C-alpha cells in the first residue's frame, strides 16, 4: 500500500467525529491547487495494509478517513485496508475520491466497507481539462452513478468543490449543483493559494467567506444541505 502520510487524530476530516487519516499515493489528475502533489511524489512509502493499520494510533479515533492522492488507484490495497479496519475496529470509514473510478467504489460499498463517500467535483465539467487535466464528461457521468449507488446502498455522499474565483463563477456552481442535487451534502471549500503546487495558482486570489456563503445560498436552491469550509471554520447553511 503506497502512502505518503498518516494523521493519528484529526477533527476536520470526518464531519462531527475525531478521525485518523491515511493518505494514499498516486493520482490521475493534476489539479494546480493540490496541496499534496509534490509531497506524494517525494515521500511515498510502500507498506502492507496490515502494517499501515498497526502504525495508526487509534486511541481517540471514532472513524477512519482514507484520502490521497486518489485511493482507488490501488484497489487491492485499499480494499484490504478497509477490511482490516472493519474486522479489527468496526469503525466508520470515509473515502475521499476524485470520482474517476466508479467500479472500485461500487465494490467497496457493496461489501459494506464505506460509510461516507466524499467526491470532489472540481469545476463545471467543460473546465476539467484546464483545472484538473482530466476528462470532465467522464466525471459528470461518474458522479451521477456514485450518487445513485450511495442512495441505493444507504451510504452518505458529500460532493464538494474548491472554489477558485479566477477560474470559476456562479454559473459553474449552478452547473455543478444541478448535476449533484441528489447528494446528502454539498460543500464549498475555500481555495488556498499558498499551498498550491503550481506557481500560477500561488498568485491567484482566495475567495472571501462572504463570497462562499453567497454561492452556498445559490446551491441551496437545489440541495437542502450545504456547507462552507473556510480557514475561519465550517458554516452550515
In the complex, minimum distance from the CB of residue 120 to ligand SF4, in angstroms, rounded to a whole number: 6
In the complex, minimum distance from the CB of residue 100 to ligand SF4, in angstroms, rounded to a whole number: 8
**Under 8 Å between Cβ of 87 and 45:** no
In the complex, minimum distance from the CB of residue 15 to ligand SF4, in angstroms, rounded to a whole number: 19
In the complex, minimum distance from the CB of residue 88 to ligand SF4, in angstroms, rounded to a whole number: 27
Strand partners, 97: 119
Q: What is d(CA 109, CA 220) in angstroms, rounded to the nearest whole number?
A: 27
Nearer to ligand SF4, 86 or 201 (CB): 201
Nearer to ligand SF4, 86 or 124 (CB): 124
Cell of 159: 460532493
Nearer to ligand SF4, 41 or 54 (CB): 41
Nearer to ligand SF4, 24 or 86 (CB): 24
Residues near ligand SF4, by CB under 6 A = 27, 29-31, 34, 36-37, 68-70, 98, 132
Nearer to ligand SF4, 31 or 219 (CB): 31
Q: What is d(CA 159, CA 161) in angstroms, rounded to the nearest whole number?
A: 7
Distance set, CA 173 to CA 5, 160, 189 (Å): 32, 11, 12
In the complex, minimum distance from the CB of residue 171 to ligand SF4, in angstroms, rounded to a whole number: 22
Nearer to ligand SF4, 100 or 175 (CB): 100
Distance of CA 108 to the CA centre of its chain: 16
**Under 8 Å between Cβ of 91 and 63:** yes
* Beta-carbon contacts of residue 119 (< 8 Å; ≥ 6 apart): 97, 98, 99, 143, 146, 157, 158, 159, 160, 180, 183
Q: How would you classify residue 135: left for phi > 0, otherwise alpha for psi between -120 and 50, otherwise beta? A: beta
In the complex, minimum distance from the CB of residue 27 to ligand SF4, in angstroms, rounded to a whole number: 3
Amino acid at each position: 500500500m503506497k502512502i505518503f502520510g498518516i494523521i493519528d487524530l484529526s477533527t476536520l476530516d470526518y464531519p462531527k467525529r475525531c478521525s485518523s487519516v491515511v493518505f494514499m499515493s498516486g493520482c490521475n489528475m493534476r489539479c494546480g491547487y493540490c496541496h499534496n502533489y509534490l509531497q506524494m511524489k517525494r515521500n511515498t512509502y510502500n507498506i502492507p495494509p496490515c502494517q499501515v493499520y498497526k502504525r495508526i494510533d487509534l486511541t481517540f479515533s471514532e472513524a477512519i478517513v482514507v484520502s490521497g492522492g486518489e485511493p482507488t488507484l490501488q484497489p487491492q490495497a485499499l480494499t484490504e485496508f478497509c477490511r482490516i479496519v472493519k474486522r479489527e475496529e468496526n469503525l466508520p470509514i470515509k473515502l475521499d475520491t476524485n470520482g474517476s473510478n466508479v467500479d472500485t467504489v461500487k465494490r467497496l460499498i457493496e461489501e459494506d466497507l464505506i460509510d461516507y463517500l466524499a467526491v470532489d467535483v472540481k469545476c463545471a465539467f467543460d473546465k476539467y481539462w484546464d483545472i484538473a487535466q482530466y476528462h470532465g464528461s467522464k466525471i459528470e457521468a461518474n458522479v451521477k452513478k456514485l450518487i445513485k449507488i450511495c442512495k441505493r446502498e444507504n451510504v452518505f455522499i458529500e460532493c464538494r468543490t474548491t472554489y477558485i474565483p479566477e477560474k470559476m463563477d456562479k454559473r459553474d456552481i449552478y452547473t455543478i449543483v444541478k448535476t449533484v442535487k441528489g447528494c446528502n451534502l454539498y460543500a464549498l471549500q475555500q481555495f488556498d493559494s499558498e499551498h498550491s503546487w503550481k506557481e500560477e495558482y500561488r498568485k491567484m486570489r482566495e475567495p472571501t467567506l462572504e463570497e462562499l456563503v453567497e454561492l452556498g445560498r445559490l446551491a441551496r436552491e437545489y440541495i437542502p444541505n450545504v456547507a462552507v469550509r473556510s480557514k475561519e471554520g465550517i458554516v452550515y447553511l
